Amino acid sequence: MLSLAEFVVWVVGVSVLVFRSAFEAYRLTNTTFLIIEVDDIYSEHPYIYAKLVPEADTILLLDTGCGSASSDRTVEITSLRAFLERVPVAENGGRPINDGARMRYVVALSHCHYDHILGVEQFACDSPVLQSAHSPAFVARDALPANSLCTALGIRTPQFASILVPHNTMLTSVSGVPLGMTLLHTPGHTPDEVALWDAHDLMLYVGDTVYEWEPIIFPAQGNISVWFATIDQLEAVVMSSRLPEAVRINCGHRTVTRPALEVLRAARQFVSDILTGNVEVRWRRWRRGEWHVDYRQEGGQFSVRCPERLVEEARHQRRLSI
Ligand SMILES: [Zn+2]
């Protein structure tokens, strides 16, 4: 029989054990959670989203994080799947998000960069993995080591099969039950970038297309002109909803549940100011065979880092279209 003091020590000890996880989860809506990989060795802190669809017995997962490579070597739960199925979440009534592993998964990848796909093998073994069908060559198995940036980082590229999904597809469970989410092709950051649109909850999930307070990074395969078209498309999706001002945007890093129209319009204005020469280059560095530049808005809400070539190409494109 434990004394009260011993019982408290036991409970605290168990709680500490239970919560030593590479992830934290927060409820965004009745059915949606934000999962943050809090201390990954790459300092990416990716934002992962889980939408629970009980009528389909399915969790729709957007992205899988950095594969649980945590800077904290004392962390015990390092697998995203183990976190979902075993770690109690305070904002889920103290239960794991997928308590008892009762629900199946459908995994959508916002794009193939390493910080979004390194955990995918935990799910690909028994769950469908969805990627954009916009540019099959970009996500092909032989191109993935370079395009995921795994080669540049000297890390192993995950091996997984995926289903390439057309633009504007309503996602369903394996058994065909609607998941209440539409997948949109949103190239620009990368050719395979996608957004998910939840018209019921008025939530837009945009991956790395845009976020605040950290540099929006365009890799060598990015395209700023295409990015503008994507921002226009996303704004049109929001404007066609039943309550545009109420739509919230949720991003691959840092930005969550912010007013979508405000963020999209402000980001477009900042990048437009870069093209018109109204933003000074903060630094210019030679990397991987070309000049890279960094622009930062006063106050730091938006910043952009990319090969200078992409800015020049977008300026040229803009001149052609005037
Ligand atoms: Zn990315």
Q: What is the pLDDT of residues 19-76, one digit of tens each?
A: 578 899 999 999 999 999 877 777 778 899 999 999 999 999 999 988 767 767 777 7
Q: Answer whether residue 281 is part of any domain.
A: no
At residue 74, the pLDDT reads 75
Q: Answer whether residue 57 is part of any domain.
A: yes
Q: How far is the CA of 132 from the centre of ligand 1 (A)?
A: 14
The amino acid at 15 = S
Inform me whether the pLDDT recorded for 4 exceeds 60.
no
Q: How far is the CA of 46 from the centre of ligand 1 (A)?
A: 10
Region of poorest pLDDT, from 5-14, 15-24, 51-60, 231-240: 5-14
Phi/psi of residue 240, each to 5°? -85, 0
Q: How far is the CA of 194 from the centre of ligand 1 (A)?
A: 11
Q: Answer whether residue 159 is part of any domain.
A: yes
Q: How far is the CA of 143 from the centre of ligand 1 (A)?
A: 16
At residue 144, the pLDDT reads 97
Q: Please, what's the largest Cα pairwise distance for the chain?
A: 81
Q: Answer whether residue 124 is part of any domain.
A: yes
Q: How far is the CA of 208 from the centre of ligand 1 (A)?
A: 5
Tally of domains in the chain: 1
Q: How far is the CA of 242 from the centre of ligand 1 (A)?
A: 30
User: Cα 195–196–198 angle (5° rounding)?
Assistant: 145
CATH label of the domain that carries residue 155? 3.60.15.10
Residue 59 belongs to domain spanning: 14-193
Q: Answer whether residue 244 is part of any domain.
A: no
- Mean pLDDT computed over 188-195: 98
Q: Answer whether residue 48 is part of any domain.
A: yes
Q: How far is the CA of 162 from the centre of ligand 1 (A)?
A: 18
Q: Answer whether residue 99 is part of any domain.
A: yes
Inform me whether the pLDDT recorded for 5 exceeds 70.
no
Q: How far is the CA of 44 from the centre of ligand 1 (A)?
A: 10
Q: How far is the CA of 110 from the centre of ligand 1 (A)?
A: 8
At residue 72, the pLDDT reads 73
At residue 296, the pLDDT reads 97
At residue 19, the pLDDT reads 59
Whether 173 and 179 have beta carbons less than 8 Å apart is answered as yes
Inform me whether the pLDDT recorded for 287 exceeds 80.
yes
